[in-house]
Amino acid sequence: MLIRSHTCGQLRESHVGQTVRLNGWVNSYRDHGGLIFIDLRDRFGLTQIVFDRESGLAADMMASADKLRNEDVIAVEGAVRIRVGGENPKLDTGKVEVVVVALEILNKTDNPPFLPDDLGKLPNEELRLTHRYIDLRRPSMQRILALRHKVYQTTRRYFDENGFLEVETPILYKSTPEGAREFLVPNRHVPGSFYALPQSPQLFKQILMVAGCDRYMQICRCFRDEDPRADRQAEFTQIDLEMSFVRRDQVMATMEGFVRRLWKDVADVDVPPLQRMTYRRAMEDYGIDRPDTRYDLKIKDLSAFAAKMDFAIFKSALEKGKDRPAYNSKKGVVKALRVPGGAEKLTRKITDGYTDFVKTFGAGGVAVVKVIKGEDGQPKLDTGIAKFLEPLKAEFLALLGCQIGDTVLFVADVYAIATKAIGELRQKVARDMGLVPKPGAEGGPWNFLWVVDFPMFERNKETGKWVAMHHPFTSPNDDQMQAFLDADMDDEVTIEGIVSAGYDVVLNGQEIAGGSVRIHDRAVQSKVFALLGMTPEQAKEKFSFLLEALSYGAPPHAGVAFGLDRLIMNFAGTDNIRDVIAFPKTQTGADLMTRAPSPVPENQLRDVHIRSIAPAP
RNA sequence: GGGGCGGUAGCUCAAUUGGUUAGAGUACCGGACUGUCGAUCCGGUGGUUGCGGGUUCGAGUCCCGUCCGCCUCGCCA
């Protein structure tokens, strides 16, 4: 075989006169009869090679060259020269070409189902995933693979420099069915017993702290058997960290340093210091715990104002849970979103659509009013609920700081639903108003933000039980610890008010990292388990190893996990998580290339003491 | 589990809102061509309209079921 001397992205004017050998795929061919041009492709680029009947190429090789087609794999030998037909500025190698004197066909291809170029429309994703080995040849996909590699390398370098040890943790793990649904793996030796694949290495990394590792990191695979989304996959990758003898601020500083290094290395962007926002502020102003601050729309609570209105829909919403304390999920509220310039851009058709939109989050609808210019030149309320606002017009305009040309959107419901609905609506309105900047060539703008002071606990919507907002190993914040230990477990208002030592990094409305200071005291951990409704026996059955570890000299520790796939999505400028995973799965968990999952022979099931109750296909 | 969109030639799409033999570009096959660069020109092959029923004189088009993919709500400690 003609082993390559250079890659297809390498040759320049300085190589002119040299005899070189290239290997690669036929990216395109231009056949002029006695003269054939081929763009040869590998991961590193494209090089034009020329077959010329009049340049001494053997007749049989010329005949072979005539048969070359896209995606054939070949090796050639020839001399580098300045292009006779002039430069092609689109190629890095565009000043030169290789005049072939020897051709070796390494592998003829069948006619491929699609070509891996970035011209024109992509074939449908089903086909791309089925023939992933072709799809990944596409330069845009190669670029993402390289980006991902770069992130791995920068990550390992940064944490190594900061004293972290990379430690692998088990994939076959104990089932702890509190959080996401788990993937189960039967054990052959103990009939009826199962491992679970880890939702995250959470407890192992805490135990590594107890074990004296001091600082741990791992780029690890996590598994959650929940329905995927465009930015979510059942099998995904985290950059997982844990640190000993630190409090919240030390971890946050380490994370911020990492973010800064990563963006510098990968995108050559200098990230300014991150602002902090409390969870409460985020929910109040943005209706979501991961605000997108790239645009300046803010939500305002108008409950007190709305109570003065003679408008039945608001009144009945405010009646709900009216004896509950503020921010209680079941307390009725009225939320408003002022949209500058909305009076013109948000047509009746669009605002009508908002009602359907908020219904998907359980809200009843959206009330609308426009602020237009009256005959006297002053602001005038128009359409929708204008007549109900008219008696309180001055107060309304002042409360929201309305200008002529604004539209104001209202959602009235219990706190949990109204907040979620108007928070989602805010993001939709921003898209409709064209306020969301399109990522430029460098990906940005990059709006980072810390969100802190999350509640420790929230009520499960269906069961009404307390559940941990982050996870059950999250510590109350330092200034809350005594209040938590003293708290009566039946005192709903106090429990609800306990703030955890958790922290999230939010980027452009996306959670890219989350972590917390952990509980390192057995008594605190036991109280959390009890609050979550676990008896001491249940806690012991599920987490005895953790409770024991906490009893044998556990250092204060804290940690975090970054969603690696989402980081790459940002750098790659894609909103499809499958683009950043080499071999992703579909929405039903299928790998279309390997055809996993698949049935297994009966005897294989018997070995692991499993009988399938699935109906025969 | 719920809602929405989609599936027509290898690929990307069209097909007058139920009406003749389902078309175009590209790929592929054959031919021409010595300076192209998404080469060009000429000719050709290629279809179980995802699958199964139904309505109708007639179904790519309407109805029912089903499979697959995507988006989404729930879910994701």
pLDDT at position A469, please? 92
Return the structure tokens found at A186: 């039967």
For residues A384 and A95, give the distance between their C-alpha atoms in angstroms, rounded to a whole number: 65
**Domain boundary assignment for chain A:** 13-107, 143-278+445-602, 295-436
Closest nucleotide to A83, Cα to C1': B35
Query: CA at A112, C1' at B28: how many angstroms apart?
Result: 10
Q: Which helix (H) or strand (E) holds A80?
A: strand A73-82
A314: Cβ contacts below 8 Å, ≥ 6 apart:
A306, A307, A334, A367, A410, A412
In chain A, which residues from 8 to 47 place their CB closer than 7 Å to nucleic acid strand B?
28-35, 37, 39
Task: Tell me if domain A13-107 and domain A295-436 are identical in fold.
Answer: no
| Residues of chain A (201-220) having a beta carbon less than 7 angstroms from strand B | 202
Distance from C-alpha of A192 to C-alpha of A550, rounded to nearest angstrom: 30
CATH of domain A295-436: 3.30.1360.30
| Closest to A28 measured CA to CA, from A19, A16, A36, A17 | A36
Amino acid at A361: F
**pLDDT score for A464:** 80
Superfamily of domain A143-278+445-602: Bira Bifunctional Protein; Domain 2 (3.30.930.10)
Report the share of chain A in percent with pLDDT over 90.
89
CA A34 centroid distance within chain: 52
A462 falls in which pLDDT band (50, 70, 90)? confident
CA A418 to CA A42: how far, in whole Å? 53
CA at A113, C1' at B47: how many angstroms apart? 17
Q: Is the pLDDT of residue A614 over 90?
A: no
CA of A115 to C1' of B12 (A): 12
pLDDT digits (tens, 9 = 90+) for A413-439: 999 999 999 999 999 999 999 999 877
Query: Does the pLDDT at position A440 exceed 70?
Result: no
Cβ contact A142:A156 at 8 Å: no
For residue A546, the one-letter residue type is L
A54 touches strand B (CB under 7 A): yes
Cβ atoms of A498 and A455 closer than 8 Å: yes
Residues 108-137 of A with CB under 7 A from strand B: 111, 113-115, 119-121, 123-127
Fold of A13-107: OB fold (Dihydrolipoamide Acetyltransferase, E2P) (2.40.50)
Single-letter code of the amino acid located at A92: D
Strand B contact residues in chain A (339-358), C-beta within 7 Å: none
ipTM (interface pTM): 0.94
Residues A322, A414: Cα–Cα separation, whole Å: 10
Which nt is closest to the CA of A230, judged by C1'? B71
Cβ-contact A281, A456 below 8 angstroms: no
SS (H, E, C) A445-489: CCCEEEEECCECEEECCCCCCEEECCCCCECECHHHHHHHHHCCC
**Predicted pLDDT at A381:** 96
Angle at the Cα of A16 from the Cα atoms of A10 and A21, rounded to 5 degrees: 55
Residue A616 has pLDDT above 70, yes or no: no
Q: Provide the pLDDT for residue A605.
A: 95
Answer yes or no: are the C-beta atoms of A537 and A543 closer than 8 Å. Answer: no
Average pLDDT of the residues in A449-468: 89
What residues pair up with A517 in beta bridges, in sequence order?
A: A558
Kindly report the three-state secondary structure assignment for every residue of A98-146. EEEEEEEEEECCCCCCCCCCCCCCCCCHHHHHHCHHHHCCCHHHHHHHH
- Residues paired with residue A468 on neighbouring β-strands, in sequence order: A457
Q: In 3D, which of A564, A549, A555, A519 has the Cα closest to residue A218?
A: A564
Count of positions (residues) in chain A: 617
A135-192 residue pLDDT tens: 999 999 999 999 999 999 999 999 999 999 999 999 999 998 778 999 999 999 999 9
- Name residue A496's amino acid: E
Helix (H/G/I), strand (E/B), else coil: A3: coil
pLDDT single digits (tens) A334-370: 999 999 999 999 999 899 999 989 999 999 999 999 9
Contact flag, residue A416 CB and nucleic strand B, below 7 A:
no
Distance (Å, whole) CA A451 – CA A479:
17
What is the torsional sign of CA A303, A304, A306, A310? positive
- What is the rounded average pLDDT for all residues in chain A? 94
Over the stretch A36-88, which tens digit does the pLDDT of each residue have? 999 999 999 999 999 999 987 889 999 999 999 999 999 999 999 999 999 99
How is A213-252 classified by DSSP, letter by letter? Answer: --EEEEEEEEE--S--BTTB-SEEEEEEEEEES--HHHHH
